């Protein structure tokens, strides 16, 4: 029966685990907890292929508790009840260690069913998830667990796993396997921090090795074919989507055109055209705003062009829009002004519209005092005259602060001079 190489060479000790030095290094907090033998309820959070299941298995090997594995994509409450039935029996005299993979797929009721037994210590839960547990794990369950974040494994660490995979494969075959060190590094770089992907790629490369001089040679040109697109982590509905979108906007806001184009490329490579277009329209007003008021018009034209063109040509106008925004002067005066006004409205500080601003285009409006004292600004020099526009309760409120960019500074000087002549 075929057994995947990634499972066959899975580490059995913490020293064999690649990556996660922040947790499993000599002074890593998770390593010290495991070494103590006092295993708490834990949630392992991180991308696929970063060692969550492996570490849980190592922990199980160090405890005398009966190990049960469930995957939340297929498990049910009945499965949990069956496991709970083993507690305090000869099958689990020391209690149960439950490894629950993809816990985000358990609903609230399923997660709640674990609480009683976690609370009394009869079940030790190690749950894993590729999604942010603070969004997907029930609060009461999360409060009884310690969250450990597993990070994508750096290429230099993954190289160890790839090299070991080639060595194991070579040792099992009659003909030796030959590979260049550059191939190991290329595979390690191409898998996006996912050790499982890297080992699977190594297995495929070995299977497709070319015969030469009585040896099987792993060919460099096969690396890109085997590892195609695997270096990119992106899920339109997952954390990576929000992380990349966040980095995209923050790079534009921070005026770094190179980083902005990098994140644009990641979004486009994932085919996420709608998110790019929406975010660019937001950025044009939120982060550039009145410092370059024409930017929104240019971005709208680029977005319309991109949507009409579709990918791959859409990348061209979108790159233009990104670079325009990243290199434009910045102002957030528009969003801060409207948010300050919204804060007053939501706090109940609205007040009545001043009578002279009320609609007066109907019979009887004058009798009600509507619009009587309104002064028409265009009848005055500079098309301006001073009068109260805000409700009485807010007449001294100030929401808009001019930005220090060239456009808003010029507007400020214009109005200061005009209003100063009154």
Lowest mean pLDDT segment, chosen from 39-43, 170-174, 310-314: 170-174
**pLDDT at residue 175 is higher than 90:** no
Does residue 144 lie in a domain region?
Answer: yes
Boundary of a domain, candidates 303, 327, 351:
327
- Report residue 60's pLDDT band, with 50, 70 and 90 as the boundaries: confident
Q: For the residues 344-350, what does the mean pLDDT come to?
A: 90
Note the pLDDT of residue 378.
94
Q: What is the pLDDT of residues 242-288, one digit of tens each?
A: 889 999 999 999 999 999 999 999 999 888 899 999 999 999 999 99
Strands 146-149 and 123-129: unpaired
Verify that 121 and 174 share a domain, yes or no.
no
Note the pLDDT of residue 366.
80
Q: Report the CATH number at residue 246.
A: 1.20.272.10
Q: What is the pLDDT of residues 92-109, one digit of tens each?
A: 566 678 899 999 888 888
Strands 215-217 and 146-149: unpaired
Q: Could you give the angle at the alpha carbon of 64 between the alpha carbons of 61 and 67, nearest 5°?
A: 65
Note the pLDDT of residue 329.
96
Does residue 102 lie in a domain region?
Answer: yes
3-state secondary structure of 157: helix
The whole-chain average pLDDT of the chain stands at 87
Note the pLDDT of residue 233.
55
Verify that 74 and 185 share a domain, yes or no.
no
The answer to whether the beta carbons of residues 98 and 125 sit under 8 Å apart is: yes
**Full domain range(s) for residue 257:** 239-327
The answer to whether the beta carbons of residues 345 and 274 sit under 8 Å apart is: no
Does residue 27 lie in a domain region?
Answer: yes
Instruction: Judge residue 106's burial from the number of C-beta atoms within 10 Å of its C-beta, 0-12 exposed, 13-18 middle, 19 or more buried.
Output: buried
Q: For the residues 10-33, what does the mean pLDDT come to?
A: 91
Give the separation between CA 94 and CA 241, rounded to whole angstroms.
42
**pLDDT at residue 87 is higher than 90:** no
Does residue 303 lie in a domain region?
Answer: yes
Verify that 177 and 203 share a domain, yes or no.
yes
Does residue 382 lie in a domain region?
Answer: yes
Verify that 264 and 376 share a domain, yes or no.
no
Does residue 5 lie in a domain region?
Answer: no
> Where are the extended beta strands (E) located within 103-254?
123-129, 146-149, 177-178, 210-212, 215-217
Verify that 345 and 312 share a domain, yes or no.
no
Boundary of a domain, candidates 164, 195, 226:
226
Give the separation between CA 367 and CA 365, rounded to whole angstroms.
5
Give the separation between CA 372 and CA 385, rounded to whole angstroms.
16
Note the pLDDT of residue 220.
83
Q: What is the pLDDT of residues 207-242, one digit of tens each?
A: 888 888 888 888 888 887 776 555 555 555 555 778
Does residue 66 lie in a domain region?
Answer: yes
- Report residue 149's pLDDT band, with 50, 70 and 90 as the boundaries: very high
Verify that 128 and 53 share a domain, yes or no.
yes
Q: Report the CATH number at residue 389.
A: 1.10.3710.10
Q: Report the CATH number at residue 181.
A: 1.10.8.60
- φ, ψ of residue 343 to 5 degrees: the values are -60, -40
Q: How many domains does the chain have?
A: 4
Boundary of a domain, candidates 175, 200, 226:
226
Verify that 29 and 144 share a domain, yes or no.
yes
Give the separation between CA 374 and CA 355, rounded to whole angstroms.
9
The answer to whether the beta carbons of residues 43 and 147 sit under 8 Å apart is: yes
> Which percentage of the chain shows pLDDT scores above 70?
93
Note the pLDDT of residue 232.
55
Q: pTM of the full predicted structure?
A: 0.66
Does residue 120 lie in a domain region?
Answer: yes
- Report residue 90's pLDDT band, with 50, 70 and 90 as the boundaries: low
Verify that 29 and 141 share a domain, yes or no.
yes
Verify that 312 and 354 share a domain, yes or no.
no
Chain centroid, CA 41 distance in Å: 25
Verify that 127 and 111 share a domain, yes or no.
yes
Verify that 267 and 300 share a domain, yes or no.
yes
> Where are the extended beta strands (E) located within 223-305?
none
Note the pLDDT of residue 228.
57
Higher pLDDT, 91 or 381: 381
The answer to whether the beta carbons of residues 114 and 141 sit under 8 Å apart is: yes
Verify that 140 and 162 share a domain, yes or no.
no
Note the pLDDT of residue 239.
57
Q: For the residues 127-135, what does the mean pLDDT come to?
A: 88
């Amino acid at each position: 029966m075929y057994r995947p190489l990634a499972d066959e060479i899975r580490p059995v000790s913490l020293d064999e685990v690649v990556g996660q030095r922040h947790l499993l290094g000599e002074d890593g907090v998770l390593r010290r907890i495991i070494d103590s033998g006092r295993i708490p309820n834990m949630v392992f959070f991180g991308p696929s292929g970063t060692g969550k299941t492996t570490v849980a298995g190592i922990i199980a090997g160090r405890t005398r508790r009966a190990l049960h594995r469930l995957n939340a994509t297929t498990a049910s409450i009945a499965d949990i009840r069956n496991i709970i039935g083993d507690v305090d029996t000869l099958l689990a005299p020391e209690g149960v260690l439950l490894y629950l993979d993809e816990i985000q797929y358990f609903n609230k009721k399923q997660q709640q069913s674990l609480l009683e037994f976690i609370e009394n210590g009869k079940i030790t839960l190690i749950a894993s998830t590729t999604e942010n547990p603070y969004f997907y794990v029930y609060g009461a369950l999360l409060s009884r667990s310690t969250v450990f974040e597993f990070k994508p494994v750096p290429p230099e660490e993954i190289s160890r796993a790839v090299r070991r995979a080639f060595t194991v494969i070579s040792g099992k075959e009659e003909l030796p396997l030959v590979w260049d060190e550059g191939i190991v590094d290329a595979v390690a770089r191409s898998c996006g921090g996912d050790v499982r992907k890297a080992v699977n790629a190594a297995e495929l490369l070995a299977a497709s090795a070319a015969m030469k001089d009585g040896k099987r040679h792993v060919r460099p040109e096969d690396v890109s074919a085997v590892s195609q697109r695997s270096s990119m982590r992106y899920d339109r509905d997952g954390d990576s989507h929000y992380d990349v979108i966040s980095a995209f906007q923050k790079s534009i806001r921070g005026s770094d055109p190179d980083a902005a184009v990098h994140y644009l490329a990641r979004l486009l490579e994932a085919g996420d055209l709608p998110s790019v277009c929406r975010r660019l329209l937001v950025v044009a007003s939120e982060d550039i705003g009145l410092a370059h008021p024409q930017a929104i018009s240019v971005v709208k034209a680029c977005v319309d062009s991109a949507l009409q063109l579709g990918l791959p040509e859409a990348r061209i106008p979108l790159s233009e829009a990104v670079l325009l925004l990243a290199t434009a002067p910045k102002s957030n005066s528009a969003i801060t002004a409207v948010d300050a006004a919204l804060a007053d409205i939501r706090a109940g500080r609205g007040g009545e519209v001043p009578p002279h601003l009320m609609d007066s285009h109907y019979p009887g409006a004058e009798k009600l005092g509507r619009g009587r004292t309104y002064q028409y600004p265009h009848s005055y020099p500079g098309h301006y005259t001073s009068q109260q526009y805000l409700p009485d309760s807010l007449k001294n409120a100030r929401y808009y602060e001019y930005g220090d960019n060239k456009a808003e500074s010029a507007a400020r000087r214009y109005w200061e001079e005009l209003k100063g002549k009154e």
